[in-house]
Amino acid sequence: MNPLTSPLLTDLYQLTMLQAYFAHGMLDTAVFELFVRKLPDNRNFLMAAGLEQALEFLEGLHFDEEEIAWLEQSGLFRADFLDRLSKLRFTGEVHAMPEGTVFFPNEPIVRVVAPMPEAQLVESRLLNLVHFETVVASKAARSVLVAPGKLLVDFGLRRAHAGEAGLLAARASYIAGFSGTATVLAAPLFDIPIFGTMAHSFVQAHDDETAAFERFAQACPASTVFLIDTYDNEAAARKVVALAPRLKEAGIATRGVRLDSGDLGALSRSVRRILDEGSLQQATIFASGNLDEYRLRDLLASGSPIDGFGVGTSLVTSSDAPFLDAVYKLQEYAGAPRRKRSTGKATWPGRKQVHRSFRESGTLDHDVVALESEDLPGAGLLQPVMLSGKRVAPAPDTHSIRAGAARNLAALPPSLRGLEQPAEPYRVDISPSLRELAAQIDRKTGKP
Amino acid sequence: MNPLTSPLLTDLYQLTMLQAYFAHGMLDTAVFELFVRKLPDNRNFLMAAGLEQALEFLEGLHFDEEEIAWLEQSGLFRADFLDRLSKLRFTGEVHAMPEGTVFFPNEPIVRVVAPMPEAQLVESRLLNLVHFETVVASKAARSVLVAPGKLLVDFGLRRAHAGEAGLLAARASYIAGFSGTATVLAAPLFDIPIFGTMAHSFVQAHDDETAAFERFAQACPASTVFLIDTYDNEAAARKVVALAPRLKEAGIATRGVRLDSGDLGALSRSVRRILDEGSLQQATIFASGNLDEYRLRDLLASGSPIDGFGVGTSLVTSSDAPFLDAVYKLQEYAGAPRRKRSTGKATWPGRKQVHRSFRESGTLDHDVVALESEDLPGAGLLQPVMLSGKRVAPAPDTHSIRAGAARNLAALPPSLRGLEQPAEPYRVDISPSLRELAAQIDRKTGKP
């Protein structure tokens, strides 16, 4: 069983519920919507991501013989149900916001319309993919906004939450505007630029730091960003200056240095001076080591001459907000709108659309969450992406998704662009018709 | 390319460094150790996990034709290097603490001894696996300690950081003492017990809540834990009471109810009363919804009659400490101990062992981190697990790993068992010989 494509990568209750749906012939059309209930304290907006992986999952959904055999021997399921399950494919339709779209609480970003068992079964993995990439894109966008024009590289694979997270974090952060990643596999799979320098172990494996730099340059003449903090940053910067003419003779340009510890602001200034005085004005300074958007903002605000940043753990774990209150909720079944009223978790019923209004400057003004059937001004952000279980268009390439995300970030009002909470949250209205529908359902089911 | 087994799931600098190691014949034996530099504020100890996945990765490590072809066309590497790479396998030895072992900062939990290129290449994925499972096991152990005897189920798949994290979080939390998981795939892959109830969507898809419960029970007679918070917990509990005799006639036992929102303490008491007065004394109350170890402790301290807990997002994202300062550092190359001295990130050099001393009661007393060559009292926690690239013994089953973890938790001193920081951290000594070796290296390389 392939861990990432197996339909057993789901919650057990999805399968028991499916057994009940089939047993009772509950195969009517269900409408589920994926949305986030509220913003974390440290986010002024969210950025949708993960849709392509979700659609790939839906297109490939099936139970193979080995999986059915395992379910059979588990003793938890009936033979007639497993027979139905072995034939199940996703045949529904999906509307979604394009990846890279900025969005806000209570706005559906994915809507699934399918026979109940199909729409139900896909919940766990759909959320698992879209939630995570949205978490990372939303985090990454903050670094992109505070460090315009800087080289931003995802360095997070080693402390990402296992392998798929490392890989998809590279994708989500690139979509949000990062320049690329250190994770090699992201290049063949998603056509994302990859970057790398050298590790302390390489320097330590040599008795002499200059020898380490020179050998690395000889072996990898295109990758001459030297890591200078293994012992003493300034001493190492002077060694780079001394080495550079020898490398130049061999036809190798000294591209730059990497700082990875200590007071990055002070070090960048002293190292910049050493490089400049050593005729290495073109060499860049790249910084890494426990960085996040706050450190980037502060380093740049204090005028630190840093050209690029490797951002790792804080990015890929979204350490200050490692999850979103993202849910996938039934909004309509068999033509009737549905509403959950659990304390603090009530939902807006029915098939919905999000309409966005812009100011003349092109800046976001406000959104309206309305019923799909309503005719409202402003573009509808949810677009059809899958019909009868097949994508309506080929998957967009990662670069055009990234370009769309950049347009979204450029349209953010100034109040949402910083790292601090705005005085007023972005305005998201619920349409009167949608409010009336919710009230109708409450009256019918006899509770306020 | 399989995303989880491809050797391209690594950082680019590993490959450029390998090209340099091969170019300069730096193929001597390297010793790397994986350890955590410091505890997060909310952790009194850590629990090692992820070793089995790491060993599986090492045993299977190789570049296939497609991967070599991609590296070739990338233009980043030399043909002679790619030829070497295509033949590379992991041939080294590994010592490690058994999974489920409690450990502390600066204690190596995995030591890799192999020719430099092999030992270097595996860094990113080894850390990626061991770090994540250790994060989750260390988080899960806290719930296990505050809720002894309760059914604890991992509910986190949907908000785990993508698929592999969901799956491995099920494994790591089970090792730490959870009763099982909702993630189905964890059963065939790791032989972990799976649990499930029903979702709100199932209830909402019916016009009548009692009909939803009854249909579910008929279709899944072994899974009768009814979710009662969709509209009104107490009203739904009365419906369960009214339904139970009818189910009993059909030979179906009402196993319990699940609360998923609202004031779980107050609701558990009122629902317990309703169930008891309705002759459902045997039915259990299971609670879920934004739970973590603090909520579990408080609910149990206030005497809430709750029999089991579903813990999801906070567990699988380890939301209060989503990462550890885990690193994999070169400690020796070509027979000479090595030391990194970067500000705040200095390492202890050489091949090390951890010796643990216990009190007469069996409780942990203190640890000593020493050189492997030292003969010290107390068991050495690092044991050989791989020689010449092959496991020295078959992988232990998940249940025996879990039993070992339980013995580790039982041996914790009282000061480390709670959720608050102890007055004194656990004592971890650095042996005099190890300190002397570090000082020697500093003298030789000319810096304090």
Assess contact for B132 and B50: CB atoms under 8 A: yes
Cβ neighbours of residue A267 closer than 8 Å, sequence gap 6 or more? A233, A234, A259
Smallest CA–CA distance, residue B446 to chain A, in Å, is 10
| Segment B189-222, tens digit of pLDDT | 999 999 999 999 999 999 999 999 999 999 999 9
Q: Which residues of chain B are within 8 Å of residue A323 when distances are taken between CB atoms?
A: 159, 313, 317, 319
What was the pLDDT predicted at B347?
85
Answer yes or no: is pLDDT of B438 > 80: yes
Note whether A344 contacts B262, CB cutoff 8 Å: yes
Domains and CATH numbers, chain A: 12-136+323-444 (3.20.140.10), 143-316 (3.20.20.70)
What was the pLDDT predicted at A377?
83
**Choosing among A11, A32, A129, A444, which should be mutated to test the B contact, i.e. which has the most B CBs within 10 A?**
A11
What was the pLDDT predicted at B447?
55
Residue with token string 């790792």:
A312
Assess contact for B35 and B109: CB atoms under 8 A: yes
Smallest CA–CA distance, residue A422 to chain B, in Å, is 24
Residue with token string 């978490």:
A135
| Segment A329-360, tens digit of pLDDT | 999 999 999 887 777 777 899 999 999 999 99
Residue with token string 């009737």:
A336
| Segment B86-120, tens digit of pLDDT | 999 999 999 999 999 999 999 999 999 999 999 99
Phi (first) and psi of residue B329, to 5 degrees = -125, 145
In this prediction, what percent of chain B has a pLDDT beyond 70? 99
**For residue B446, what pLDDT band results from cuts at 50, 70 and 90?**
low
CA distance B402 to B400: 5
| Segment B133-150, tens digit of pLDDT | 999 999 999 999 999 999
Answer yes or no: is pLDDT of A191 > 90: yes
Smallest CA–CA distance, residue B78 to chain A, in Å, is 9
Smallest CA–CA distance, residue B158 to chain A, in Å, is 4
Nearest to B3 among A24, A131, A164 (CB): A164
Q: Which residues of chain B are within 8 Å of residue A247 when distances are taken between CB atoms?
A: none
Answer yes or no: is pLDDT of A187 > 60: yes
B379 or B413: whose pLDDT is higher? Answer: B413
Closest by CA position to A89, among listed A61, A66, A53: A61
Smallest CA–CA distance, residue B135 to chain A, in Å, is 9
Note whether A194 contacts B12, CB cutoff 8 Å: yes
Answer yes or no: is pLDDT of A147 > 60: yes
Note whether A10 contacts B161, CB cutoff 8 Å: no
Q: Is the dihedral of CA B304, B306, B307, B311 positive or negative?
A: negative
- Least confident window among A20-34, B159-173, B334-348: B334-348
Note whether A219 contacts B16, CB cutoff 8 Å: yes
Answer yes or no: is pLDDT of A446 > 50: yes
Answer yes or no: is pLDDT of B448 > 60: no
| Segment A392-404, tens digit of pLDDT | 999 999 999 999 9
State the complex-level ipTM: 0.97
Smallest CA–CA distance, residue A403 to chain B, in Å, is 24
In this prediction, what percent of chain A has a pLDDT beyond 70? 99
Note whether A319 contacts B322, CB cutoff 8 Å: yes
B29-36 and B110-115 beta bridge pairing: antiparallel
Mean per-residue pLDDT over chain A, rounded: 96
| Chain A residue closest in CA terms to B333 | A205
Note whether A165 contacts B165, CB cutoff 8 Å: yes
| Chain B residue closest in CA terms to A68 | B188
Assess contact for A143 and A172: CB atoms under 8 A: no
| Chain A residue closest in CA terms to B124 | A158
- Least confident window among A203-217, A342-356, B300-314: A342-356
Note whether A261 contacts B343, CB cutoff 8 Å: yes
| Segment A271-327, tens digit of pLDDT | 999 999 999 999 999 999 999 999 999 999 999 999 999 999 999 999 999 999 999
Answer yes or no: is pLDDT of A156 > 70: yes
